[in-house]
Amino acid sequence: MALVEINFDGIVGPSHNYAGLSLGNLAATVHAGDVSYPRAAALQGLAKMRANAALGLAQGFLLPLPRPNSAFLAALGEPDDRPLIGAAWSASSMWTANAATVSPAPDTADRRCHLTTANLATMPHRSLEWPDTARQLRLAFADAAHFAVHDPVPACFGDEGAANHMRMAASHEAPGLEIFVYGRSGGAFPARQHEQASRAVARLHRLDPERVLFAAQNPAAIAAGAFHNDVVAVANEHLLFAHEEAFAEPEALFAAIRKRLPEAEIVVVPSSAISLSEAVRSYLFNAQLVTLPSSAGMALVIPLEAWESAAVRGWLEIMLAGNGAIRRVIPVDVRQSMANGGGPACLRLRVVADLAMVDPRFLLSDTNADKIEWVVSHHWPEQIDPADLGSPTLIQSVVAARATLLQALDLAEVT
DSSP per-residue letters across 186-221:
-TTS---S-HHHHHHHHHHTTB-GGGEEEEEBPHHH
- Of the residues 114, 228, 243, 379, which is catalytic? 228
Q: How far is 45 from 328, CA to CA, in rounded Å?
A: 20
**Which residues, 6 or more positions from 64, have their beta carbon under 8 angstroms from its beta carbon?**
10, 11, 12, 13, 14, 15, 91, 93, 94, 402, 405
Q: What is the pLDDT of residues 107-158, one digit of tens each?
A: 999 999 999 999 999 999 999 999 999 999 999 999 999 999 999 999 999 9
**Total domain count, the chain:** 1
Nearest to 336 by CA among 160, 91, 127: 91
Chain center to CA of 183: 18
Nearest to 240 by CA among 219, 225, 254: 254
Q: Is residue 10 part of a domain?
A: yes
Q: How far is 324 from 106, CA to CA, in rounded Å?
A: 27
Our answer to whether residue 195 is catalytic in this structure is: no
Mean pLDDT, residues 90-100 taken together: 97
Q: pLDDT confidence of 296, banded at 50, 70, 90?
A: confident
Q: How far is 330 from 70, CA to CA, in rounded Å?
A: 40
Q: pLDDT confidence of 413, banded at 50, 70, 90?
A: very high
Q: How far is 349 from 339, CA to CA, in rounded Å?
A: 20
Q: Inform me whether the pLDDT recorded for 25 exceeds 80.
A: no
Mean pLDDT, residues 384-391 taken together: 94
Nearest to 120 by CA among 92, 140, 145, 88: 92
Q: What is the pLDDT of residues 227-244, one digit of tens each?
A: 999 999 999 999 999 999
* Residues written for the chain: 415
Q: Is residue 330 part of a domain?
A: no
How confident is the prediction for the chain on average, in pLDDT? 96
Nearest to 117 by CA among 128, 108, 109, 125: 128
The side-by-side arrangement of strands in the sheet containing 233-236 is 233-236, 239-243, 265-269
Q: Inform me whether the pLDDT recorded for 100 exceeds 90.
A: yes
Task: For residue 259, list its beta bridge partners.
Answer: none
Q: Is residue 71 part of a domain?
A: yes
- Of the residues 31, 243, 245, 346, which is catalytic? 346
DSSP 8-class letter at 290: E
Task: For residue 61, list its beta bridge partners.
Answer: 9
Q: pLDDT confidence of 188, banded at 50, 70, 90?
A: confident
Mean pLDDT, residues 395-408 taken together: 98
Q: How far is 325 from 277, CA to CA, in rounded Å?
A: 26
- Of the residues 5, 129, 160, 244, which is catalytic? 160
Q: Domain of 39: which CATH number?
A: 3.75.10.20
Q: What is the pLDDT of residues 53-86, one digit of tens each?
A: 999 999 999 999 999 999 999 999 999 999 999 9
Q: Which domain covers residue 55, as residue numbers?
A: 3-232+339-414
* Amino acid 30: pLDDT: 86
Q: Is residue 147 part of a domain?
A: yes
Cis peptide before 14 (omega within 30 of 0): no
Q: Inform me whether the pLDDT recorded for 27 exceeds 80.
A: no
In the chain, the percentage of residues whose pLDDT exceeds 70 is: 100
Our answer to whether residue 156 is catalytic in this structure is: no
Q: Is residue 318 part of a domain?
A: no
Q: pLDDT confidence of 294, banded at 50, 70, 90?
A: confident
* Amino acid 29: pLDDT: 82
Has this prediction a pTM greater than 0.85?
Answer: yes
* Amino acid 21: pLDDT: 83
Task: Work out whether strand 298-303 and strand 326-332 pair parallel, antiparallel, or are unpaired.
Answer: parallel
Q: Is residue 211 part of a domain?
A: yes
* Amino acid 185: pLDDT: 79
Our answer to whether residue 160 is catalytic in this structure is: yes
In the chain, the percentage of residues whose pLDDT exceeds 90 is: 92
SS3 assignment, position 202 = helix
Chain center to CA of 169: 20
Q: Is residue 201 part of a domain?
A: yes
* Amino acid 24: pLDDT: 79
